C-alpha cells in the first residue's frame, strides 16, 4: 500500500491527566455476571482536519475516525468492578497535514455476560463522554428472563431500559440493575 494513501496511526495519550474512576455495580441479577468486553470510544470532533473528498473513492468526505482504548476493570467483589477512564485518552495532532484533529471521549462501554454462557446475552451498559466528565451515576435496568440467554438468540445484546418508570409497576421486580458511576480519580 502506498504510504501516501495509507491511513495514519493515531496516538493514544501516554500521560493522560483527565482521569475518572469508573465503578460498575450489579444489583439484583438472577446469577453471576462477568465483564467480557470494556472500552472507551473516542471520535475526531473536527472533520476539516480529515483528507479532502478527492482522496476518497466516490468523492465523499472521509469517515470520522474512531478509536477504542480497552478499559481495565478490576473485580473488587462479586457484584462490583472498578477501573479508570481518561477523557484525554487520545493525542490531538495533525495526522493528515490538514490541521490538528481534536479527539473527544464518546462513551465508556462495558459488556457483561453469565460465566460460561458462550453465545448468551451480553448486557451492555455505557456512560456517554459528557456523563463521565460530569461524574454521573446511571442505572440501566435489564429483564431477568434474558439471563443467561435470550431464548432463541445467539449473542443477543441487551442495552437495557434506562427508565424503569416506563415499565408497568407490577413488572418492575422482573428487572435487575447495572449501575455505572464516574468520579474524579
Domain ranges, ordered by start, for the chain: 19-184
| Lateral strand order in the sheet of 122-128 | 66-70, 34-44, 103-113, 122-128, 157-158
- Cell numbers standing for residue 74: 478490576
Q: Please name every residue paired with 12 in a beta bridge, in sequence order, or none if there are none.
A: 90
Place of cell 493522560: 16
* 51 Cβ contact list (under 8 Å, min separation 6): 62, 96, 98
Place of cell 493528515: 96
Per-residue pLDDT of the chain (185 residues; tens, 9 = 90+): 334 555 668 999 999 999 999 999 999 999 999 999 999 999 999 988 887 766 556 555 567 889 999 999 999 999 999 999 999 999 999 988 889 999 999 999 999 999 987 788 999 999 999 999 999 999 999 999 999 986 666 779 999 999 999 999 999 999 999 999 999 88
pTM, to two decimals: 0.87
d(CA 118, CA 120): 5
d(CA 96, CA 4): 10
Amino acid at each position: 500500500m502506498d504510504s501516501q494513501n495509507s491511513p495514519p496511526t493515531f496516538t493514544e495519550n501516554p500521560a493522560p491527566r483527565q482521569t475518572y474512576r469508573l465503578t460498575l455495580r450489579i444489583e439484583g441479577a438472577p446469577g453471576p455476571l462477568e465483564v467480557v468486553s470494556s472500552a472507551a470510544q473516542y471520535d475526531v470532533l473536527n472533520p476539516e482536519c480529515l483528507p479532502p473528498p478527492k482522496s476518497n473513492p466516490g468523492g465523499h468526505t472521509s469517515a470520522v475516525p474512531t478509536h477504542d482504548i480497552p478499559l481495565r476493570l478490576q473485580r473488587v467483589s462479586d457484584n462490583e468492578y472498578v477501573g479508570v477512564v481518561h477523557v484525554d485518552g487520545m493525542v490531538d495532532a495533525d495526522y493528515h497535514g490538514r490541521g490538528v484533529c481534536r479527539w473527544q471521549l464518546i462513551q465508556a462501554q462495558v459488556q457483561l455476560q453469565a460465566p460460561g454462557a458462550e453465545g448468551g446475552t451480553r448486557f451492555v451498559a455505557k456512560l456517554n463522554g459528557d456523563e463521565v466528565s460530569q461524574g454521573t451515576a446511571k442505572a440501566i435496568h435489564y429483564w431477568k428472563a434474558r439471563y443467561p440467554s435470550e431464548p432463541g438468540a445467539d449473542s443477543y445484546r441487551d442495552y437495557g431500559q434506562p427508565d424503569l418508570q416506563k415499565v408497568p409497576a407490577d413488572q418492575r421486580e422482573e428487572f435487575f440493575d447495572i449501575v455505572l458511576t464516574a468520579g474524579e480519580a
